[in-house]
Amino acid sequence: MRFSNIRNSIRYTKNQLKIVNINSKYFLGTRIILKKGLIPWVDFYPGYKDELLKLRNKYLDKRCFIIGGGPSLNSMNLTPLKDELTIGLNGVFKKFPSLGFTTNFLMAEDENVVKSYGDAYGKLDNITKLFALHNSKYIDNTKSTIFFNTNFPADNVYWQNGREFSKYFFHIAYLGGTITYLALQFAYLLGCKEVYLLGIDFSYGDRYMKKYSNLQGQEVVVDEEMLEILKESYFDPSYISLKTGDLINVPNWDIQKQSFEKARQVFEESGRKIYNAGIQSKLDVFEKVNFISLF
C-alpha cells in the first residue's frame, strides 16, 4: 500500500512538471543565441499568448466562415469563400487543392488527429496554424504556428459539460467536446460579428451511431469496420489518416450540443450571431441560412 502511494505521488509529480513546462512555453519562449567569439546565452522572448493578443479584435465586426469536414462539403460550391475570412478545422486542408485557396487559419486540438497529421501540417504554407499547446510535441514550431492554452488535462466536470465559453482565447480556451467549439471561441477573439458554419453535419451516419453511440466520449481502437465507416463520415475517404490499431475519440454529441448552446448564448448576449450555413446538417442549435444567399 505504501509503495502504491509513492508510485502515485511520483506519477502526479511528473504530470505536474509536464504541465508547468507546457505553460512556460505558452507565456514565455526561450532561444539560444550564438555569436562568433562570444559565449552562447539564453534569450527570453514573448510566448504564444502575445501572438494571440495581436489577433484580438483584428477582424472586428467582420464575418467569418468555419469549415468542418462533413461530406456535405462535396455538394457545395465553396469558391465564393476565396476572399472571405475562413477558419479550417482538422483535416480540411485536404480540400485545399479542389478549393483553389487555403483558409486563413487552420485549427486542431485532438491529440490523435494532431499526431496523425503532424507532418502534413508542417508542409502547409501561407496559413496561420493553431494547435492546442498539449500537442506541441507533434508539431514543428514555425513562424506560422501558434499554440493556444486549454484546460487540458482537467477533470471531466470542468471541461466536458459545455458550460464554459472563453471570451479571452489568448488566456485559455475550453474544449467543450469538439474543435468547432474552440473555433467559435477563436472567432470571438477575432471580433467577428457573424460566424457561419459549413461542413458541421453533426452526423456520422447510421452505421457509426449504431456501433458507437454507447461509447460517446471514450477512446476506442480503430478496426476495419471503423475505417470503412470513417470513409463515409467525411468529405474525403482519407480525411483521417488512421490505420487499424490506432486510437480515436468517439464524439460525445450531448456535450457538443450543450457547448453549441452556450456559444450561441454568449454570441447573442454580445450582439453577435452564429449561423449554420451548411447543407444536410443535423445541427439545429443555430439558425440555418442559405449559403448562396450570403453572396
**Does 198 have pLDDT greater than 70?**
yes
pLDDT per residue as tens digits for the range 142-154: 678 898 988 766 5
Q: Which of 42, 3, 40, 4 is nearest to 24 (CA)?
A: 42
**How far is 27 from 71, CA to CA, in rounded Å?**
38
> Residue 73 in contact with residue 67, Cβ under 8 Å?
yes
Determine the length of the chain: 295
Domain chopping of the chain, boundaries: 47-294
Predicted local distance difference test score (pLDDT) of residue 159: 46
Prediction pTM value: 0.82
Which residue in this structure is represented by grid cell 477573439? 189
Confidence of residue 1 (pLDDT cuts 50, 70, 90): very low
> Residue 159 in contact with residue 255, Cβ under 8 Å?
no
Contacts 24+ apart (CB under 8 A), 92-96: 92/67, 92/68, 92/199, 93/120, 93/121, 93/124, 94/235, 94/236, 94/238, 94/239, 95/235, 95/236
Q: What is the pairing mode between strands 105-108 and 85-89? A: parallel
Question: Hey, what's the torsion of the CAs at 21, 259, 188, 120, to 10 degrees?
Answer: 60
Predicted local distance difference test score (pLDDT) of residue 215: 80
pLDDT per residue as tens digits for the range 149-192: 887 665 444 444 446 899 999 888 988 889 999 999 999 999 99
CA 90 to each of CA 145, 179, 213, 233: distance values in angstroms, whole numbers, following the listed order: 14, 8, 22, 14
Q: Which of 244, 234, 159, 224 is nearest to 199 (CA)?
A: 234
Residues 6+ apart with CB under 8 A from 30: 42, 43, 44, 45
Contacts 24+ apart (CB under 8 A), 213-216: 215/250, 216/250, 216/251, 216/252, 216/253, 216/254, 216/255
**Does 271 have pLDDT greater than 80?**
yes
Q: Decide: residue 54, CB within 10 A, 0-12 exposed, 13-18 middle, 19+ buried.
A: exposed
The pLDDT mean for the chain works out to: 83
pLDDT per residue as tens digits for the range 222-257: 888 888 887 788 888 888 777 888 888 888 888 889
Which residues are registered as beta bridge partners of 219? Answer: 249
Predicted local distance difference test score (pLDDT) of residue 155: 46
The helix (run of H) or strand (run of E) holding residue 117 is helix 111-122
